[in-house]
C-alpha cells in the first residue's frame, strides 16, 4: 500500500490526531501564559506585601522612637517636678522648724532678761515706796513685751508668705491643711498675746492659777500646730511618691 493511499484511508484519524495534538499545544501555551500571568501577579503581590511590610516596619520603628522620646521626656519632666517640689517642700519645713525652734529660743532669751529687769526695778521701787519708779518699771516692761510680740508676729508673717508660695505647687489636700496651719498659727499668736498682756496683772496679783491656765493654752496651741505639720508632711511625702 502506498503512503498516499494510507494517508487517504486514515485521513480522518490523522486529522483528529493532529487536531488533538494542536489542541494540546494550544492548551499548553494557554496554560503557560496563564501560569506566567499568575506568577507575575504573585511576584507583584509579593512585592507589594514586602513593601507594605517594610512600610509597617518603618512606621513602627518611627512610632517606637517617638514613644521612647516621649517616655524619656516624661521621665525628665517628672524628675524635674519631683526635685523642684522636694526642694520647695524641704525649704518650707526648714523655715517652719526655724520659726518654731528659734522663735521659742529667742523669745525665752529676750523674755527672761525683761522679766528679771522688771522684778529687780519693781521690787526695788516697792521697797522704797517709790510709785513713780513702780509705774516706770511697769511701762518699760509693757513696751518691751510689745516689742517682743511684734517681732514674733513679723516672723509669722514671713511664714504665711512662704505658705502662699507653697500653695502654687501643692495639691488641694495640702492646701486645705495649710489653711488649717495658718489658722492654728493665728490662734497661737492670739493666745500668746493674751498671755503676755495678762502676765503683768497676774504677776502683780500673784494669780498663779490663771498663769498656769494661760500657759496650758499656749502649750495646747503648740500641740495643734505640730499635729497639722505632721499631717502636711505625710501628704507631701505621698504627693512626691505619686510623681
9-23, 68-82, 127-141 — which one is most confidently predicted on average?
127-141
Q: Are 202 and 210 spatial neighbours (Cβ–Cβ below 8 Å)? A: yes
114 with 141: CB under 8 angstroms? Answer: yes
Q: What is the pLDDT of residue 62?
A: 79
d(CA 37, CA 42): 8
pLDDT (average), residues 147-158: 83
pLDDT computed for residue 176 by the predictor: 92
Q: Which span out of 16-30, 69-83, 176-190 was modeled with the highest average pLDDT?
A: 176-190
Residue 213, pLDDT score = 93
88 burial type by CB count under 10 A (0-12 exposed, 13-18 middle, 19+ buried): middle
Highest average pLDDT, of 28-32, 51-55, 93-97, comes from 93-97
**Once rounded to an integer, what is the mean pLDDT over residues 109-113?**
85
Sign of the torsion formed by the C-alpha atoms of 83, 88, 93 and 99: positive
pLDDT in the model for residue 117: 92
Mean pLDDT of the chain: 78
Amino acid at each position: 500500500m502506498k503512503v498516499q493511499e494510507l494517508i487517504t484511508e486514515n485521513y480522518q484519524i490523522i486529522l483528529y490526531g493532529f487536531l488533538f495534538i494542536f489542541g494540546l499545544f494550544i492548551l499548553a501555551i494557554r496554560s503557560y501564559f496563564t501560569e506566567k500571568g499568575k506568577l507575575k501577579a504573585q511576584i507583584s503581590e509579593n512585592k507589594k506585601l514586602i513593601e507594605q511590610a517594610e512600610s509597617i516596619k518603618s512606621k513602627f520603628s518611627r512610632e517606637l522612637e517617638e514613644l521612647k522620646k516621649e517616655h524619656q521626656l516624661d521621665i525628665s519632666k517628672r524628675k524635674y517636678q519631683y526635685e523642684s517640689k522636694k526642694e520647695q517642700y524641704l525649704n518650707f519645713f526648714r523655715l517652719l522648724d526655724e520659726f518654731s525652734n528659734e522663735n521659742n529660743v529667742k523669745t525665752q532669751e529676750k523674755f527672761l532678761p525683761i522679766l528679771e529687769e522688771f522684778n529687780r526695778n519693781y521690787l526695788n521701787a516697792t521697797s522704797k515706796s517709790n510709785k513713780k519708779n513702780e509705774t516706770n518699771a511697769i511701762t518699760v516692761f509693757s513696751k518691751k513685751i510689745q516689742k517682743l510680740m511684734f517681732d514674733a508676729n513679723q516672723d509669722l508673717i514671713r511664714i504665711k508668705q512662704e505658705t502662699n508660695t507653697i500653695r502654687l505647687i501643692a495639691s488641694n489636700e495640702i492646701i486645705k491643711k495649710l489653711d488649717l496651719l495658718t489658722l492654728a498659727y493665728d490662734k497661737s499668736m492670739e493666745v500668746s498675746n493674751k498671755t503676755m498682756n495678762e502676765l503683768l496683772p497676774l504677776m502683780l496679783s500673784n494669780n498663779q492659777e490663771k498663769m498656769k491656765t494661760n500657759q496650758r493654752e499656749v502649750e495646747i496651741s503648740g500641740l495643734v500646730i505640730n499635729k497639722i505639720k505632721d499631717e502636711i508632711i505625710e501628704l507631701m511625702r505621698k504627693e512626691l511618691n505619686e510623681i
